[in-house]
Structure 1
Amino acid sequence: MPLTKEKIKHFQEKLEEEKKQLESELSRVGKKNPEVAGDWEAVPEDLNVETSDTGELAGAFEEMENRSAVENTLEERFILVSRALDAVKKETYGVCSSQEGKPHPIEYKRLEANPAATECIKHAGI
């Protein structure tokens, strides 16, 4: 059964809230890439390149790798949430994107668990 307008509005609000949260978290570990729209890049917290202490430098580089991993994970989720919000605008939200069979709705419980889901439980392999 397709989602009602009220349920779509409910998920849209959840997605918008999550997008704000993701933007906030991304801004703590990175910055927007001015050359690529929608792209973020990790930035060091406080890297003193003038230090000669190899242990301190190694720690700084390790921290940068961690920030980069966090940034990548957050950015991937940000993209999924943004695509889900685009689907709301296009009135295709909540429809399984699997190419198997005819288009069908994604289960409500699946969307409650993951509002950015693009496939039903069966096609997601859950």
Structure 2
Amino acid sequence: MDTELLNTVKETLKKEKALLEQELSSIAAKDPRVAGDWDSKHPRVPEGNEEEAADEVEEYEERNLVEQTLETRLRDVVSALAKIANNAYGTCEKCGAQIQKERLVAVPSARTCEHCM
């Protein structure tokens, strides 16, 4: 892989990592017990108002789904950055072939080639 493309992808991944961490911090907190893990912020469930409590629980469940999606994306980005650092970036995790440059430009954290998607 050429150096210019690798540097471009690396910068894109760093920016995406910062953005994902910012988004995660707005709905979750880092889990001090597990590196790289986040916990959704728990709702304040008001006493005595069942309707409001149900709304808070529903909002928490939605926030938890978003947190899981963002956390998965962040893990993929961190993994891609580690692969760049270890000169292993751009190799399909399933078949071992080189991932197409066009795919890496479109999805810098791609783990698989187009054939193994």
Would you say same fold, with TM above 0.5? Answer: yes
SS of the equivalent of 1:41 reads: strand
Correspondence for 2:91: 95
TM-score, normalised via structure 2 length: 0.94
Q: Residues 54 and 94 (structure 1 numbering): CA distance in 2 closer, same or farther, change over 3 Å?
A: same
TM-score normalised to structure 1 length: 0.88
Q: State the identity %.
A: 37
* Matching residue of 1:7: 5
Which residue of structure 2 aligns with residue 61 of structure 1?
Answer: 57
After superposition, the CA RMSD in angstroms is 1.2
Name 2:82's counterpart in structure 1: 86
Count residues with an aligned counterpart.
117
User: 1:108 and 2:101 equivalent?
Assistant: yes
The answer on 1:71 being equivalent to 2:67 is yes
> Is the 2:46–2:52 Cα contact (8 Å) retained in structure 1?
no
Deviation at 1:51?
2.5
Deviation at 1:50, TM superposition (A): 4.2
